[in-house]
Structure 1
Amino acid sequence: MAENAPDPTAGKAPQGHPGLPRWAKLLALGVGIALVVLVVAMLLVGGEHGPGMHG
């Protein structure tokens, strides 16, 4: 009778998704900061459009 080979994954936690790479996290952070700056700038300027702004 042959012995069963031990399961190499026995007793180990299942491998989950490794997560986002560092460059993707930094890109998302940069885009988020740029959006916040854009919104703050629009609120401070007033956002009124018209011919008077181009004069």
Structure 2
Amino acid sequence: MVIGCDVVVFDGEGKDEFGELDGEEKVSFIDEYGGRSKVEPFGSEKRERK
């Protein structure tokens, strides 16, 4: 019996947070998407809703 789990990480800048764990991708795989952008912080003020 094999037990496992799925972990999904989305990062707008394309950083691989788990790259050190499986650098050669022997037990994992990475899907990369072309769109990358700089991460912006959340606003400090609440938006006004009309």
Shorter-chain TM-score: what band?
A: under 0.3
TM-score, normalisation: structure 1: 0.20
* TM-score, normalised relative to structure 2: 0.21
Structure number with bigger Rg: 1
More helix by share: 1
